[in-house]
Amino acid sequence: MLGATKPGRHRIDWLTWLWTDEVQEKVRQKKKQYQRFLAAKTPENWKAYKEAWSAAKTAVASVQGPVLPIQRYEVADAIGKMECGKATGPDNIPADLWKAKN
């Protein structure tokens, strides 16, 4: 959901006060189109909502800026914080092996 802070999320991810009036208006339009779709679930309302959703997503992404690439020190810090002997993640590689490679 664009424009609202979810519980447990860091506030830095949702700095809505940085948004311009144009971005806020597109998010409002998206929400309005969604409510219209829920009131009457027609293909036309769904198409209008999807167009508003796409416009809002593009506007928010342009304000947030590009995603920066991951740096080596960030990976090294993350590996350093891993605890040995814990369960493996989705890659099935134990933390012991990651630490041995570093």
Residue 45: inside a domain, yes or no? Answer: yes
Same domain (yes/no): 19, 37: yes
pLDDT of residue 14: 56
The string of pLDDT tens digits covering residues 52-66 is 999 999 888 888 777
Say how far apart CA 62 and CA 66 lie, in whole Å. Answer: 8
Same domain flag for 59 and 25: yes
3-state class of 40 per DSSP? Answer: coil
Q: For residue 83, what pLDDT band results from cuts at 50, 70 and 90? A: confident
**39 lies in a domain?**
yes
Q: What pLDDT sits at residue 20? A: 81
- % residues pLDDT > 70 (the chain): 81
Residue 6 banded pLDDT, cuts 50, 70, 90: low
Regarding whether 52 and 90 lie in a shared domain, the answer is no
Query: Nearest to residue 2, comparing CAs of 11, 14, 10, 12?
Result: 14
What pLDDT, on the 0 to 100 scale, is given for residue 91? 85
Q: Is 11 exposed, middle or buried (0-12, 13-18, 19+ CB in 10 A)?
A: exposed
- What whole-number distance in Å separates Cα of residue 55 and Cα of residue 13? 19
Q: What is the pLDDT of residue 31?
A: 94
pTM, full prediction: 0.52
pLDDT, mean of residues 22-44: 93
Domain that residue 23 falls in = 11-64
